[in-house]
């Protein structure tokens, strides 16, 4: 036993144990170890130059504590870390400073690693991955090749958001609606719509599976709903309208085919390819001006329900296929080319948006569903608001009288018989725009060749579905995939990281890298011409940052494999993560894209389970002390290093978990950490005061509280309820510190419970109590249910129903003994003295109430 120390010197203790864990590889995950496995995964960070702020470690603290808890329980735990390091911020820094992105990335990773280690996060660093490492993105490129070969990748010229200042395409989610118009989320620069050649992935082919797979996932309901809404499955019908006077048709999707007789006009998106064809000469100038203006609006702004309704008549009409009626075709920006067919049939009597538009422009409103008195109408009986409910069909020809549900099927059957429509399922989900006009990203393993040379190439280099072609410098070119032996295709050195003004990637200027010669049979490339080889040019776009984050959790399992993405036996041993912890801001895109890629990998036999993340948990946001989201502009960012210097990493970890439920949003309060620091100092005193520690059996009260704490903390850790676990450990510490003596074994058990959250303190005290090795290797305590049963019970004493004292009595006491104890209480005697006892009421095991007058 050591001499107790009054000083809890966290500044010396914490680096000591961080070095111990690293040197002894305490948390190294061993493949095929004969133990149950547990794989806990964090959403890996983007290593920015700013480093961590106090909000970042919250989820990491939870996963680190869970890892230590599970390892103590006897699990073989995999808890790795890596870096999502391709992307725009580093490239923008390169443009401004001329520093190669790889240099900046290396510096930022070193900074982040240092901070994570300071916080005591003992990751299995032997499995570290970095999306910018050629050994990693080789397999990102390989996955893209599988998508290409399966016909799930194609090239299209799409109207996309382009930011001239950043020189790149932005996703809709990266565009802000501002009073000045749409602007980039990063940098707040103006953005515009521009048609640019894009690689696109057919995620829509997996839409049905992606929505069906959600039902079996242990995810927050809100996240499931977000994904369901994003995918947007709806059943309905396709309806084809002829355009009067033109050899053209407009196809729409509707979930309400029962209202087709009430379609009184059509609306097409400003980008619809038929707009220029069907617009009449009289309307041309007005339509062109409207289309041009729509280019400056974001999809979110255009789809806003409350916005002012705008539109222009094209001068053209369409023919309603069920009644032959000619109806006007309008162009309006609330219809999006990225959703459905880019055209809608408008039924103003039964759709709120259509009703408002019709009223704004004086268009006909025809009611075709009987509202049975439920609709809002004026004195003349005309609708004053759309009726969107069900009912009997009216004004609907042969369908009149049918209920709206059965009429949906009947109208579709009627259209199908005339080859003017069909039943179908539609999805809001659009194919994934998968290219960026940037330097700092994964190069596509693609070479473009001319048509005659494409015919010479081996089929193994082509898309299995159909040829992928596009226009490059006015010539039709066809895509060939590089063979596996050519991977990884690395980025070339370039003179400038700035994209060209017309949106071309910096790679388009790397002439020494751009032009290659290809063996048409093997796909091998060379910068020099060879006999029988064909000439090609490399793809100059790069992949988006989403690419590397779609599959990183698999690479952790087998990070150094140069022959395969993942060893099948290791994949089966570890499986998919048992728990994925990360922010709700990734609820849709990252999780959806990763699920899509995982489904594809499942289809080609790389993984053994179709879903990557069976259990998902979103940690809440740590707000600034002002209750606002932390940001440099608000000046409310808290630096974790400042807290560590003042209180230690253990205090910071414990306080982050003590602030409230892990999933809740809560404000930071620096003053509040004082209480946690005092608790840790009390634990230190409890474990180092030799004069109080005994080797024998502990008191009944101590054991009862200890085993109640073991039970609760174990349950709370399993449920990620760290705040309530800490509260219980505080109660236990207070009980163990209350007497003159405490059993050393009780203190050791408390330290085991606390160690996952305060690992440095736990390890140091474990060593000072005479143990060798890590506390995590000493196992997890188990509660004894019999210790929770008390031999005594508290009986409340009342006089005339008011509390007058209490006493601990043997659990098997009799009624007479309880009443006698009450009467012998000095306080009770003060209230019954000189009075007549009328009644003695006993509630077994709880209350004695004496009625005295």
Interacting residues of 812 by C-beta distance below 8 A, sequence separation 6+: none
Interacting residues of 636 by C-beta distance below 8 A, sequence separation 6+: 624, 625, 626, 628, 630
At 421, which helix (H) or strand (E)? strand 421-427
* Tokens 């309704």, located at residue: 309
- How far apart, in whole angstroms, are the C-alpha atoms of residue 321 and residue 169? 40
Max CA pair span of the chain: 122
145 annotated to bind ligand: no
Q: What is the DSSP string of 25-80?
A: TTT---TT-SS-EEEEEE-PPP--TT---TTTHHHHHHHHHHHHHHHHTT-EEE--
Burial 121-138 (b: 16+ CB within 10 A, else e): bbbbbebbbbbbbeebbb
At 293, which helix (H) or strand (E)? helix 284-294
- How far apart, in whole angstroms, are the C-alpha atoms of residue 660 and residue 670? 15
Burial 424-442 (b: 16+ CB within 10 A, else e): eebbbbbbbbbbbbbbbbb
At 315, which helix (H) or strand (E)? strand 312-319
At 160, which helix (H) or strand (E)? strand 153-163
Looking only at the bridges linking them, the beta strands covering 475-481 and 515-518 are unpaired
What tokens does 75 get? 């699990």
Residue 403 per-residue DSSP state: B
Can you list the positions of beta strands (E) in 653-747?
666-667, 693-694, 742-743
Q: How many CB atoms lie within 10 A of CB 397?
A: 12
Check: CB of residue 377 under 8 Å from CB of residue 344: no
What tokens does 779 get? 């196992």
CA angle, 544 then 549 then 551, to 5°: 120
| End-to-end CA separation in angstroms for the chain | 62
What 3-state DSSP class applies to 418? Answer: coil
Check: CB of residue 310 under 8 Å from CB of residue 297: no
Give phi and psi for 793, each to the nearest 5: -140, 145
Question: Among residues 579, 662, 578, 590, which one has the least CA distance to residue 227?
Answer: 590
Burial 701-728 (b: 16+ CB within 10 A, else e): ebbbbbbbbbbbbbebbeebbbbebbeb
- How far apart, in whole angstroms, are the C-alpha atoms of residue 19 and residue 339? 55
Whether the bond between 563 and the residue before it is cis, its omega within 30 degrees of 0, is: no
Question: Among residues 511, 578, 510, 537, which one has the least CA distance to residue 453?
Answer: 537
CA angle, 85 then 87 then 93, to 5°: 95
Question: Among residues 469, 399, 551, which one has the least CA distance to residue 155?
Answer: 469
Looking only at the bridges linking them, the beta strands covering 792-799 and 847-852 are parallel
- How far apart, in whole angstroms, are the C-alpha atoms of residue 626 and residue 669? 9
Helix axis angle, 744-754 to 700-718, nearest 10°: 10
Looking only at the bridges linking them, the beta strands covering 82-83 and 129-130 are parallel
CA distances from 605 to 217, 313, 561, 611 (A): 21, 53, 17, 13
Residue 331 pairs in a beta bridge with: 268, 312
Question: Which residues are part of a known binding site?
Answer: 632
Q: Would you list which residues are annotated within the binding site for ATP?
A: 632
């Amino acid at each position: 036993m050591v001499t107790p120390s009054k000083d809890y010197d966290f500044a010396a203790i914490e680096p000591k144990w961080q070095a111990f864990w690293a040197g002894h590889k305490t948390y190294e995950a061993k493949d095929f170890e004969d133990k149950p496995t547990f794989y806990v995964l964090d959403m890996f960070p983007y290593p920015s130059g700013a480093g961590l702020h106090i909000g970042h470690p919250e989820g990491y603290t939870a996963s680190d504590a869970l890892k230590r808890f599970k390892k103590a329980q006897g699990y073989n735990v995999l808890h790795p870390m890596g870096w999502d390091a391709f992307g725009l911020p580093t490239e923008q820094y390169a443009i401004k400073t001329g520093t190669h992105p790889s240099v900046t990335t290396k510096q930022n990773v070193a900074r982040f690693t240092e901070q994570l280690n300071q916080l005591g996060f003992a990751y299995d660093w032997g499995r570290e991955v970095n999306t910018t490492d050629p050994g990693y993105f080789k397999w990102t490129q390989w996955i893209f090749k599988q998508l290409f070969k399966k016909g799930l990748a194609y090239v299209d010229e799409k109207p996309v958001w382009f930011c001239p200042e950043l020189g790149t395409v932005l996703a809709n989610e990266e565009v802000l609606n501002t009073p000045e118009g749409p602007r980039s989320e990063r940098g707040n620069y103006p953005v515009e719509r521009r048609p640019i050649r894009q690689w696109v992935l057919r995620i829509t082919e997996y839409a049905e599976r992606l929505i069906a797979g959600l039902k079996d996932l242990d995810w927050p309901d809100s996240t499931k709903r977000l994904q369901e809404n994003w995918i947007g499955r709806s059943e309905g019908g396709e309806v084809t309208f002829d355009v009067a006077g033109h050899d053209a048709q407009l196809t729409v999707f509707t979930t309400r085919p029962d209202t087709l007789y009430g379609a009184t006009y059509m609306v097409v998106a400003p980008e619809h390819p038929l707009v220029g064809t069907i617009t009449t000469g009289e309307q041309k100038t007005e339509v062109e001006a409207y289309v041009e203006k729509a280019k400056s609006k974001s999809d979110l702004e255009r789809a806003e329900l409350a916005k002012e309704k705008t539109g222009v008549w094209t001068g053209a009409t369409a023919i309603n296929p069920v009644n032959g009626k000619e109806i006007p075709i309008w162009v309006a920006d609330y219809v999006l080319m990225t959703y459905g067919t880019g055209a809608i049939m408008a039924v103003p009597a039964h759709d709120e948006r259509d009703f408002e538009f019709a009223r704004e422009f004086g268009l006909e409103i025809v009611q075709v569903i009987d509202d049975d008195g439920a609709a809002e109408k004026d004195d003349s009986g005309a609708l004053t608001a759309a009726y969107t409910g069900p009912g009997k069909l009216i004004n609907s020809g042969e369908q009149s009288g049918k209920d709206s549900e059965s009429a949906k099927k009947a109208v579709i059957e009627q259209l199908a018989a005339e080859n003017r429509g069909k039943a179908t399922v539609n999805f809001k989900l659009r194919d994934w725009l998968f290219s960026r006009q940037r330097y700092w990203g994964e190069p596509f393993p693609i070479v473009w060749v001319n048509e005659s040379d494409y015919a010479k190439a081996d089929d193994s280099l082509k898309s299995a579905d159909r040829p992928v072609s596009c226009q490059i410098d006015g010539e039709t070119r066809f895509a060939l995939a590089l063979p596996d032996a050519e991977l990884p295709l690395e980025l070339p050195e370039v003179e400038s990281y700035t994209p060209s003004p017309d949106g071309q990637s910096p790679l388009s200027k790397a002439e020494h890298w751009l032009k290659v010669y290809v063996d048409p049979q093997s796909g091998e490339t060379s910068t020099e011409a060879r006999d029988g080889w064909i000439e090609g040019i490399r793809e100059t776009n790069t992949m988006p940052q989403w690419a590397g984050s779609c599959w990183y959790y698999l690479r952790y399992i087998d990070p150094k494999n140069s022959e395969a993405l993942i060893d099948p036996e290791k994949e089966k041993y570890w499986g998919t993560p048992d728990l994925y912890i990360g922010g709700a801001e990734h609820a849709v895109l990252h999780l959806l894209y990763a699920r899509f890629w995982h489904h594809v990998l499942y289809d080609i036999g790389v993984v053994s389970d179709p879903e990557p993340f069976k259990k998902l948990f979103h940690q809440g946001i740590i707000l600034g002390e002002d209750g606002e989201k932390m940001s440099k502009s608000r000046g409310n960012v808290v630096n974790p290093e400042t807290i560590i210097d003042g209180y230690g990493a253990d205090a910071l970890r414990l306080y982050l978990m003590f602030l409230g439920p892990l999933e809740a949003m809560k404000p930071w309060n620096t003053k509040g950490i004082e209480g946690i620091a005092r608790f840790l100092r009390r634990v230190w005193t409890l474990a180092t005061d030799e004069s109080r520690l005994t080797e024998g059996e502990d008191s009944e009260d101590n054991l009862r509280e200890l085993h109640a704490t073991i039970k609760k903390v174990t349950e709370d850790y399993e449920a990620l309820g760290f705040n309530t676990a800490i509260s219980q450990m505080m109660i236990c510490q207070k009980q163990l510190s209350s007497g003159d003596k405490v059993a050393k074994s009780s203190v050791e058990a408390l330290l085991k419970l606390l160690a996952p959250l305060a690992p440095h303190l736990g390890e140091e005290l474990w060593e000072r109590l005479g143990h060798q090795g890590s506390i995590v290797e000493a196992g997890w305590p188990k509660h004894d249910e019999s210790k929770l049963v008390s031999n005594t019970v508290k009986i409340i004493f009342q006089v005339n129903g008011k509390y007058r004292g209490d006493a601990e009595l043997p659990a098997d006491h009799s009624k007479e003994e309880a009443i006698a104890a009450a009467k012998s209480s000095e306080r009770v005697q003060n209230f019954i003295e000189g009075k007549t006892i009328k009644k003695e009421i006993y509630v077994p095991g709880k209350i004695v109430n004496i009625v005295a007058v």
